[in-house]
Structure 1
Amino acid sequence: MRLTRILSAASAAVLTATLALAGGQSAQAADGSARALAGRDYVALGDSYSSGVGSGDYDSGSGDCKRSNRAYPKLWAAKNAPASFHFTACSGAVTGDVLAKQLGPVNSGTDLVSITIGGNDAGFVDVMTTCILQSEANCVNRVNTARAYVEKTLPGKLNQVYTAIRNKAPKARVVVLGYPRFYKLNGTCVVGLTEKERGAINGAADLLNGITAKRAADHGFAYADIAGRFSGHEICSGNAWLHSVTFPIGDSYHPTAAGQSGGYLPAFSAGV
Structure 2
Amino acid sequence: MRLSRFTSYASSLLLAAACTLTGVGAAHADSRDERAAAPAYVALGDSYSSGVGAGSYDSGSGSCKRSTRAYPALWAAQNAPASFSFTACSGARTGDVLANQLGPLNSGTGLVSVSVGGNDAGFADVMTTCVLQSESACVNRVNQAKAYVDSTLPGQLDRVYSAIESKAPSARVVVLGYPRFYKLGGSCLAGLSEGERRAINGAADHLNTATAKRAADHGFTFGDVTSTFTGHEICSGDSWLHSVNWGDIGESYHPTAAGQSGGYLPVFRGAAS
User: Please, what TM-score do these two structures have when normalized by structure 2?
Assistant: 0.86
The equivalent of 2:89 in structure 1 is 90
Q: Could you tell me which residue of structure 1 aligns to residue 250 of structure 2?
A: 250
Structure 2 letter corresponding to 1:165: I
Task: Please state whether the residue corresponding to 1:175 is helix, strand or coil.
Answer: strand
Letter in 2 for 1:220: G
How far off its partner does 1:137 sit?
0.6
Match of 1:57 in 2: 56
Deviation (angstroms), 1:37: 6.0
Please say if residues 77 and 85 of structure 1, whose CA atoms lie closer than 8 Å, have aligned partners that are also in contact: yes
* 2:27 paired residue number: none
State the partner residue of 2:3: none
Q: Secondary structure at the match of 1:44?
A: strand
Matching residue of 1:133: 132
**Counterpart residue number, 2:156:** 157
In the other structure, the counterpart of 1:71 is 70
From the superposition, tell whether residues 200 and 35 of structure 1 become closer, same or farther in structure 2 (CA, over 3 Å): farther
Q: Which residue of 1 aligns with 2:99?
A: 100
What SS does the aligned partner of 2:258 have? Answer: helix
Q: Tell me which residue corresponds to 1:261.
A: 261
**Match of 2:201, as an amino acid?**
N
Mapping of 1:162-181 within 5 angstroms? 162-181=161-180
Give distance in 2, aligned partners of 1:232 and 1:245. Answer: 19
Residue equivalent to 1:187: 186
- 1:221 aligns with 220
Please list the CA deviations of residues 84-142 of structure 1 after superposition, one character each: whole Å capped at 9, or x if unmatched.
Answer: 00000000000000000000000111010000000000000000000000011100000
Contact 1:43–1:110 under 8 Å retained in 2: yes
Unaligned runs of 5+ in 2: 1-31
CA distance in 2, matches of 1:231, 1:211: 20
2:226 & 2:265 partners in 1: Cα distance?
13
Number of matched pairs? 240
The one-letter code of the counterpart of 1:121 is D
Structure label with greater radius of gyration? 2
Distance of 1:34 and 1:151 partners within structure 2: 46
**In 2: Cα distance, 1:214 partner to 1:189 partner:** 33
Cα separation, 1, equivalents of 2:34 and 2:228: 26
TM-score (norm 1): 0.87
Q: For the residues of structure 2 that align with 1:35 and 1:250, how far apart are their CA atoms?
A: 41
Identity of aligned residues (%): 73
Q: Structure 2 counterpart of 1:68, which letter?
A: S
More helix by share: 2
Indicate whether 1:44 and 2:62 are aligned: no
In structure 1, what is the Cα distance between the partners aligned to 2:130 and 2:188?
16
Q: Which residue of 2 aligns with 1:148?
A: 147
Contact 1:37/1:82, CA 8 A, preserved across alignment: no
Question: What SS does the corresponding residue of 1:150 show, helix, strand or coil?
Answer: helix
Structure 2 contact 115–175 (Cα < 8 Å) conserved: yes
Residues 239 and 85 (structure 1 numbering): CA distance in 2 closer, same or farther, change over 3 Å?
same
Offset of 1:35 from its aligned partner?
Answer: 7.3
Structure with higher RCO (Cα < 8 A, 6+ apart): 1
Evaluate the alpha carbon distance shift between residue 152 and residue 36 of structure 1 in structure 2; reply closer, same or farther with a 3 A threshold.
farther
1:209 corresponding residue in structure 2: 208
Given that residues 243 and 254 in structure 1 are in contact (C-alpha distance below 8 angstroms), is that contact kept between their aligned partners in structure 2?
Answer: yes
Partner of 1:15: none
Letter in 2 for 1:186: G
CA distance in structure 2 between the aligned counterparts of 1:102 and 1:41, rounded to whole angstroms: 16
Letter in structure 1 aligned against 2:141? R
Runs in 1 of length 4+ with deviation above 3 angstroms?
33-37
Unaligned runs of 5+ in 1: 1-32
